[in-house]
Structure 1
């Protein structure tokens, strides 16, 4: 792991997370994010769940999620080219640090924004996929650990790797490009989706047989 790729990946993770917390402190109170959770069929007119002047955890949760989105882009751009040494390093490094950033985001969301209130986490319309998100949080590092230990990328390892990548992509694209509150996060989510799809198309046309079970 002492390679320039890993150094760059960890550096990117730390810089983006630091930027997320700094930006949250700077933009809290700006009115960028709504103090009221999204409406739903069952709750068409929800009450505000954030007090004016106490928006910091809301912005910290949002901006740490943005950091994860940005870190995932190089991982999805290289995941189908893991037969090449450099691309394999880029994928594994950014796939790993993306999870670290996701763990930070989950901690901030669960314990700073929701204050550890489990009932609020599971019922708030701010959270669109609570249980899938927890499953992903546990599965994702297991996949990274398999790769870090050098377990051959074939058979069931390859199969579960495809599934977890699809789940993570759906979770983050859905939460940003589809349900994102701001155009900025919608654009980042759309960029992640485009990169992932182009990488898959490129693999399908040129690279099948290189990364396979």
Structure 2
């Protein structure tokens, strides 16, 4: 896994969530760098043939995507032109796909629902956004792949300590404002009040969202917010 490309070009396929025919394809070299980009709308056979030519000129390649669902949408779009596209290419669509994000989740023993943003945070990296969301996710996937492959200290740390320990270490470095923002971004409102726990002053924090609520107590507000963030990140949605 650490040798991610095995000498092959990776072709990253990203789907525009607002248009199921619009794809951005990116070629990724062995250094996990994006070296070429193709924007295409798969509504005509000419576009499909352009995709085939653009991919196959690499010779040895593997196909990756931000998630399996996006990749299957790409395959279905290409299947519209099955009579036009070489049969060998269709076989390659199935045999050369690699769900790299799921493999990283598996190898790090993360909860299966972990997304790109959570995996990026685990490596202590900022999730870099782009005006076009599917392009942003594609860039972030390559960032994650590079971190897994080249930040061997963090990768080893996650595998040895476990995801929850490393996640807590990351959250403890966050400010109250940053921790609160995580809950607000998910639509939660926050209420806190001082309480006495085991004879000591503490803070009770309640996160509320429609019918959902989470209650925790910390020695101070920061500790309570860390516990809330742990809950929000680790729980399966």
Q: Determine which structure has greater relative contact order: mean sequence separation of CA pairs < 8 Å that are 6+ residues apart, divided by chain length.
A: 1
Structure 2 length as normaliser, TM-score?
Answer: 0.25
Structure 1 length as normaliser, TM-score?
Answer: 0.27
Q: Give 1 or 2: higher strand fraction.
A: 2
Asked which structure has the greater CA Rg, the reply is 2
